[in-house]
Amino acid sequence: MCTFIYTMDLSTSIEKIKKYKQKYADYKNIFINKKILKSPNNIGYDPKQIYKAYGYDKIHYDKHLILSDIHVVIIIAYSYKNIQVDFDIFCKKNNLPTKQINVIKINENTPSNSDWSAEICIDTQWSHAIFPWSKITVVEAESSSVQDLLVAIEVGKSINPDIMNMSWGVSEFNFCDKIDIFNNSEIIFIASSGDDNSVEWPATNPNVLAVSASSLYVDKKGKYFKETTWSNSGCGYSKYFKIPAYQKNADIICSNNRVCSDISIVGNPETGCYIFYDNNYSIYGGTSLSAPIISGTMAIICYFRKINNKIKINSNSNPYDNYSVQNLLYEYYTRSGENIFNDIKLGSSGYFDATKGWDFPTGLGSPNVIYFVDYLNNV
């Protein structure tokens, strides 16, 4: 099976790319240094183990309706020629249906980069593992500069996805709060909270769902036993973004600024997950793993909402948006407590400890999947 490559196809044009580049010219010298984290041991999970631990295996799909048109766009830097090959091997190893991955190359001559190549495999394989019926499009930015990644986001938005996954981040920078690229009532924007304790953009943008990493432990039967924080998860206070209404109204903390994270799931490399990359089936982790797992989870919700003729959900911070996933999750937490979440109460990241309820390292907790999906499907 060959990867289908778009080069400036129907969704965009050379002229538009030039306009995007000019629009974001101020950010051309800010680069994201991608760090991929391999497991230091041999403890890790495959998809079936994650399904059982979090309850994905309790979700029942109508086989006649499984021809889904849910679309996940993955924004990445650089290029990797073996995306499809590695994806197909991962699927075969885990008895998952395979599919054609679409790739949009901003520049046909974009080079490869080993850390970013591994990231592409994590994102495609694990968003697919969680919901194997989404259409996946990878948009390859020319470089890891914020300018080029913003161009890639604009291109990704132009093809109207349901979900946009961004498993990368950078320390906040001057005027990051002036970038209004995530204002959209039709897309769920998802980003890694970071792997170095401090907060990172774009996860700090209130219109983005910020995902941190946890340490997952199961019992001898493979059932969920406990979760703790991952000690390197990105979390803390934004310097630039004001606290959004969904956090202010939840009264989670006394702050004038956006706080991270919003939600968490498995990601600690010591309890990481398998991917296939560079001829090896190995365990990787970090919030780079957590983000695509949440993206796959949101794809499940988008699927059920679509087949039930429900309005699309998004990640808009507008307090009057009844279909913003942040508004819905924080409002539920304030009203009903923690039933749709696994509350993570142990561990710390940087200066912040896990506590009962919302906390910096793990946000609202990890999804208690069957209840989490049911709630977001039925609102």
* Angle at alpha carbon of residue 89, lines to 83 and 93, rounded to 5°: 145
* Domain 4-378 homologous superfamily, CATH: Peptidase S8/S53 domain (3.40.50.200)
CA-wise closest residue to 187 among 85, 304, 27, 312? 312
CB atoms within 10 A of CB 173: 16
How confident is the prediction along the chain (379 residues), in pLDDT tens digits per residue? 334 444 444 455 888 999 999 999 999 999 999 988 999 988 899 999 999 999 999 999 876 566 679 999 999 999 999 999 999 999 999 999 999 999 999 998 999 999 999 999 999 999 999 999 999 999 999 999 999 999 999 999 999 999 999 999 999 999 999 999 999 889 999 999 999 999 999 999 999 999 999 999 999 999 999 999 999 999 999 999 999 999 999 999 989 999 999 999 999 999 999 999 999 999 999 999 999 999 999 999 999 999 999 999 999 999 999 999 999 999 999 998 779 999 999 999 999 999 999 999 999 999 999 999 999 999 9
Per-domain boundaries in the chain: 4-378
Residue with tokens 């051309």: 28
Distances (CA, A) of 178 to 6, 51, 57, 169, 319: 30, 39, 42, 17, 19
What does the alpha-carbon distance between residue 25 and residue 300 come to, in Å, rounded to a whole number? 37
